[in-house]
């Protein structure tokens, strides 16, 4: 999948009362604010957030996944990007101005604070919801016009929301046993401490939710689609402190964590870091924080006492061990069986003349996944998109508005599951009737890019930024392209989007060489507005490969595809293929049959569909 999506509420929300209450708080002496900034992130900079953290949606009425609100004494502005212009314009009431990001001369929210609000303004923000580095830049530009960034101890939206605000989830935490993680949490922590001692750091504050889940080999269900739990952690030479609501922890979990792990309440992390401040004054050591840590955490620890870098846990987590890799392989086989069963079922429905909408499809697919061993839940909202809806990259069907799946149009299905042994993310584009020549040509160009990535062999040190072009050269030949990255990291029974690496045009991907043990998706696409969308997405593992030579003694890497859902040969324009590509398709589909058929009932519709769909392309 390419990104986050949210439920589409198409009616505007009346925000007059909420805004009046908020502005009343501005005037309180301890605040004395000109404006208040409401980001959409939670305190952990999570991609998916819990309902209690949907503050920007509450105050503005706009429910999209990306956006930021600025409420001043007399204005209210909502900043979002092109994906959400239509949705925002429907959901915002008369109180709000929509600021269309990316349109020339529309300021960013940071520019707006400087250019559109009076000089010497006091701009309030909840410091837990903004990254320390962003707060620093913002303070500098506000300072130039005499304005200041005011950290409010309480979140003002929460005060307005009051009792109607959903409680922070406090779901029970589960232990993820060694047979799934391949490595004890003691070992991971020992490793982290080694890294810290190399640079003589006093300790590290873990603030990303998936990093905490990974480090302690625990999982939760506090956030939809992500098996994580609300917590912070502080790992120092002497202490391991987990900041968490202890009600979430059974005796089994506590036993698993062991006596070396101390527990403190979730929000006590701020208080504890402030106490550390004194310690640092008499000491030359510093605390390491991640570049994605909140301004609030950085303030608590004291900016002069911290150094920030990419989280060492982010890097460690990205490289899967052999147990995790094998778990990823296994869950992908079961997941493929579910997708195969679904496509076979869809075909049967259409043959029988039944009418199905996109949600019906997504629901049936979920049912097929539920039948699989170790399945826990979906890893994101299923994209089930017929014809033109496939061209909306972040499309998510909604019960009231979704389309009927037209068997005579391309059907794009991007979905994934959480399994105890791994996380899946697969997109296939299929046609139940007769595709047009244009559809076949575009599909084949996308497929050629997919094959070029799949077959790539590259020296160690190569980044996904450099490989991205391989996914595009065949499309470019026809003057086609796609406006998203080629691939993202995938967690192992964790978040479906995971860093620090990726294959894509974002320059940050040039900082991280691909390394053996990493997972990454291979998902080129092509989108023809108003007509169709094509994406072919497979999860691959980065593996060492043997090459005839080894120039420069660097060692060479390649990809192992673990998603094994066949490529529909009906959609391939054979005249565009070279023999290697032709053979790749047949080999891949044969591998799908060989590895996935054991997970299907013999003679079931899924089995027969798989057998037919994996027959060699002549």
Q: Point out which residues bind a copy of itself (CB under 8 A).
A: 456-459, 466-470, 473, 475-481, 483, 507, 510, 526, 547-552, 556, 578-580
Give me the half-sphere count of Cα atoms (radius 13 Å) on the Cβ side of residue 270: 11
**Distance in Å, CB of 184 to a copy of itself, minimum:** 36
- Strands 498-503 and 487-489, by their bridges, are antiparallel
Give CA–CA dist 356/145, Å, rounded.
Answer: 58
**315: Cβ–Cβ under 8 A, 6 or more apart, which residues?**
500
State which residue, 459 or 605, has the beta carbon closest to a copy of itself.
Answer: 459
For residue 405, what are the CA distances in angstroms to 211, 338, 490, 566?
A: 39, 19, 29, 20
Q: By three-state DSSP, how is residue 79 classified?
A: strand
State which residue, 243 or 458, has the beta carbon closest to a copy of itself.
Answer: 458
State which residue, 150 or 480, has the beta carbon closest to a copy of itself.
Answer: 480
**353: Cβ–Cβ under 8 A, 6 or more apart, which residues?**
none
State which residue, 99 or 557, has the beta carbon closest to a copy of itself.
Answer: 557
State which residue, 477 or 612, has the beta carbon closest to a copy of itself.
Answer: 477
**Distance in Å, CB of 455 to a copy of itself, minimum:** 8
**Distance in Å, CB of 580 to a copy of itself, minimum:** 6
Tokens matching residue 131: 């990254």
For residue 427, what are the CA distances in angstroms to 336, 390, 393, 523?
A: 11, 11, 12, 8
**Distance in Å, CB of 122 to a copy of itself, minimum:** 34
**Distance in Å, CB of 529 to a copy of itself, minimum:** 10
The DSSP line for 499-544 is EEEEESS-GGGGGSB--TT-EEEE--EEEETTTEEEE-BEEEEEEE
**Distance in Å, CB of 502 to a copy of itself, minimum:** 15
State which residue, 104 or 552, has the beta carbon closest to a copy of itself.
Answer: 552
State which residue, 187 or 478, has the beta carbon closest to a copy of itself.
Answer: 478
Name the DSSP class of 153. Answer: S
State which residue, 72 or 448, has the beta carbon closest to a copy of itself.
Answer: 448
Hey, which residues does 262 pair with through a beta bridge? 241
Give CA–CA dist 448/455, Å, rounded.
Answer: 10
**Distance in Å, CB of 515 to a copy of itself, minimum:** 16
**Distance in Å, CB of 526 to a copy of itself, minimum:** 8
Give CA–CA dist 551/564, Å, rounded.
Answer: 33
**CA proximity to 488, closest of 501, 470, 471, 472:** 501
**Distance in Å, CB of 458 to a copy of itself, minimum:** 5
State which residue, 353 or 552, has the beta carbon closest to a copy of itself.
Answer: 552
Whether the Cβ atoms of residue 432 and residue 350 lie closer than 8 Å to each other: yes
**Distance in Å, CB of 444 to a copy of itself, minimum:** 13
Give CA–CA dist 196/151, Å, rounded.
Answer: 30
**Distance in Å, CB of 483 to a copy of itself, minimum:** 8
Whether the Cβ atoms of residue 442 and residue 476 lie closer than 8 Å to each other: no
State which residue, 206 or 452, has the beta carbon closest to a copy of itself.
Answer: 452
Burial (CB count within 10 angstroms: exposed 0-12, middle 13-18, buried 19+), residue 355: exposed
State which residue, 216 or 526, has the beta carbon closest to a copy of itself.
Answer: 526
State which residue, 366 or 481, has the beta carbon closest to a copy of itself.
Answer: 481
Phi (first) and psi of residue 231, to 5 degrees: -170, 160
**Distance in Å, CB of 480 to a copy of itself, minimum:** 5
Say how far residue 71 (Cα) sits from the centre of its chain. 28
**12: Cβ–Cβ under 8 A, 6 or more apart, which residues?**
61, 90, 91, 92, 93
């Amino acid at each position: 999948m390419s990104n986050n999506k949210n439920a589409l509420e198409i009616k505007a929300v009346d925000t007059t009362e909420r805004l009046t209450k908020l502005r009343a708080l501005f005037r309180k002496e301890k605040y004395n604010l000109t404006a208040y900034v409401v980001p959409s992130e939670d305190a952990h900079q999570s991609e998916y957030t819990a309902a209690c953290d949907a503050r920007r949606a509450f105050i503005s009425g706009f429910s999209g996944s990306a956006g930021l609100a600025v409420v001043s004494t007399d204005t209210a502005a909502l900043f979002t990007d092109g994906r959400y212009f239509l949705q925002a314009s429907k959901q915002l009431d008369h109180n709000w101005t929509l600021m269309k990001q990316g349109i020339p001369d529309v300021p960013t929210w940071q520019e707006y604070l400087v250019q559109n609000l009076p000089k010497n303004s006091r701009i309030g923000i909840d410091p837990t919801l903004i990254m320390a580095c962003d707060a620093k830049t913002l303070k500098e530009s506000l300072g130039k016009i005499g304005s200041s960034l005011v950290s409010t101890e309480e979140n003002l939206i929460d005060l307005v929301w009051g009792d109607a605000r959903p409680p922070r989830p406090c779901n029970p935490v589960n232990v993820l046993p060694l047979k799934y993680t391949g490595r004890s949490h003691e070992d991971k922590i020992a490793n982290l401490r080694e890294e810290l001692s190399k640079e003589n750091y006093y300790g590290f504050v873990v603030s990303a939710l998936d990093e905490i889940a990974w480090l302690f080999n625990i999982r939760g269900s506090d956030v939809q689609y992500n098996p994580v739990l609300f917590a912070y952690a502080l790992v120092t030479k002497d202490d391991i402190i987990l900041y968490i609501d202890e009600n979430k922890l059974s005796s089994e979990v506590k036993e698993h964590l062991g006596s070396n792990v101390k527990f403190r309440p979730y929000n006590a992390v701020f208080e504890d870091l402030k106490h550390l401040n004194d310690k640092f004054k008499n000491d030359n050591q510093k605390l390491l924080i991640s570049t994605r840590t909140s301004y609030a955490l950085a303030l608590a620890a004291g900016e002069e006492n911290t150094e920030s870098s990419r989280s060492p846990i982010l890097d460690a987590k990205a490289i899967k061990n052999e147990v995790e890799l094998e778990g990823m392989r296994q869950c992908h086989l079961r997941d493929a069986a579910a997708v195969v069963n679904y496509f076979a079922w869809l075909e049967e429905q259409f043959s029988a003349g039944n009418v199905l909408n996109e949600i019906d499809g997504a629901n049936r697919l979920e049912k097929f996944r539920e039948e699989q061993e170790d399945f826990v839940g979906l890893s994101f909202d299923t994209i089930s998109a017929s014809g033109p809806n496939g061209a909306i990259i972040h499309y998510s069907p909604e019960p009231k508005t979704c389309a009927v799946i037209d068997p005579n149009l391309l059907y794009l299905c991007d979905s994934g599951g959480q399994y105890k042994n791994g996380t899946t993310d697969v997109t296939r584009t299929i046609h139940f009737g007769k595709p047009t020549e244009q559809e076949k040509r575009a599909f084949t160009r996308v497929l050629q890019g997919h094959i070029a990535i799949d077959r790539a062999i590259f020296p160690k040190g190569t980044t996904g930024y450099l490989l991205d072009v391989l996914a595009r050269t065949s499309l470019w030949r026809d003057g086609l392209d796609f406006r998203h990255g080629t691939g993202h990291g995938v967690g192992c029974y964790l978040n479906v989007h995971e860093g620090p690496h990726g294959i894509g045009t974002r320059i940050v991907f040039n900082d991280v060489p691909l390394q053996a043990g990493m997972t990454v998706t291979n998902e080129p696409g092509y989108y023809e507005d108003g007509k169709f969308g094509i994406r072919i997405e497979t999860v691959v593992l980065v593996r060492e490969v043997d090459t005839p030579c080894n120039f420069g003694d660097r060692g060479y890497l390649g990809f192992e595809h673990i998603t094994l859902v066949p490529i529909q040969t009906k959609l391939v324009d054979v005249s565009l293929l070279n023999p290697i590509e032709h053979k790749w398709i047949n080999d891949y589909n044969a591998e799908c049959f060989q590895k996935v058929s054991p997970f299907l009932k013999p003679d079931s519709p899924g089995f027969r569909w798989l057998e037919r769909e994996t027959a060699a392309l002549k």
